[in-house]
Amino acid sequence: MTSPNTSDPAGRYTLRSISRAIDVLEILAASDAALGASDVARELGSSKSTAFAILQTLEERNLVSSSGEGFQRRYALGLGLARLGHRAVSRMSLLDAAMPHLEQLTKTTKLSSRVATMSQGIAVVLGQVDGPNLIRFDLNMGGRERLHCTGIGKAILGQYTDAEIVDLAEQTGLPRRTVHTITSIDALLHDIATVRARGFSVDDEEDAEGVLCIGAPLVDHTGACAGGISITGLKMGQSRERVLRLGDLVMATATAISRQMGAAV
């Protein structure tokens, strides 16, 4: 029943156990009613013990739910799948909502712009718009950036509590990128307090020498942090007054994107 892997026709990199687990999810999804382990085994073409082991593993990860006892036990899709689906959809809708606004932001500021979300304590770039200058910044799609030293990362951190920031810092560390990088918890919390009060973040040569980055957070329809946006350019020639004006533009753009995603901001 396993579907052919068109990206790996020889099946060299296919894990049979994972493939079977996905088959079980497909079987449950295709059924209008909850199924017993015997039903799943029959559809899967396996022994009941194999089907039961897969179901139990998936249930432990909340991808499958069950009700009843013994021979009456029945299985259905779990809410964990809804969470994963929501994350996938939110990422796509975030990118769709952000890109037109980023194009306008880059056109206005002449600076490169990007949108990112957080995954496992790292900011992951989902999309970008390059500025018109000859200099191109490394803002690759899917690029992973530290939260403590980038404009977009610090904008995201501003949506979390101090306790959550401490937990994240303990998990990922605060590695030094330049002589300007914040590498202590106390200094980071002080900087994030400023981000919250001001509404936008500033990476002042903290991730790369000579580079300035200004970010602002995004929120979704639930009020939760959906990610952040930022603009990036050379620090040279950027006065404090211009940084404040750019910060206001980035905040306004973030607000427009958040509203498009249904946030009440």
Task: With a cut of 50, say whether residue 5 has pLDDT above it.
Answer: no
Task: With a cut of 60, say whether residue 137 has pLDDT above it.
Answer: no
Q: What is the pLDDT of residues 210-260, one digit of tens each?
A: 999 999 999 988 889 999 999 999 998 889 999 999 999 999 999 999 998
Task: Encode burial over 79-93: b for 16+ CB neighbours within 10 A, e otherwise.
Answer: eebeeeeeeeebbeb
Q: Supply 105's token pair.
A: 């932001």
By three-state DSSP, how is residue 230 classified?
strand
DSSP H stretches of helix in 158-239: 162-172, 185-198
Domain 16-77, CATH: 1.10.10.10
Angle at 177 between CA 197 and CA 112, to 5 degrees: 65
Residue 7 is predicted with a pLDDT of 47
Residue 73 is predicted with a pLDDT of 93
Residue 128 main-chain phi, psi, to 5 deg:
-155, 160
Q: What is the pLDDT of residues 172-210, one digit of tens each?
A: 999 999 999 999 999 999 999 999 999 999 999 999 999
Residues 6+ apart with CB under 8 A from 21: 54, 57, 58
pLDDT average, residue stretch 121-137: 81
Q: What is the pLDDT of residues 51-73, one digit of tens each?
A: 999 999 999 999 999 999 888 89
By three-state DSSP, how is residue 98 classified?
helix
From the candidate CATH numbers 3.40.50.2300, 3.30.450.40, 3.40.50.2020, 3.10.129.10, the one assigned to the domain spanning 83-260: 3.30.450.40
> CA-CA distance, 144 to 160, in Å (whole number)?
19
The reported pTM is: 0.67
Look at 132 and 134; give whichever has higher pLDDT: 132
Cα 167 to the center of its chain, rounded Å? 18
User: Of 123, 148, 111, nearest to 246 (Cα)?
Assistant: 111
Domain regions of the chain by residue span: 16-77, 83-260
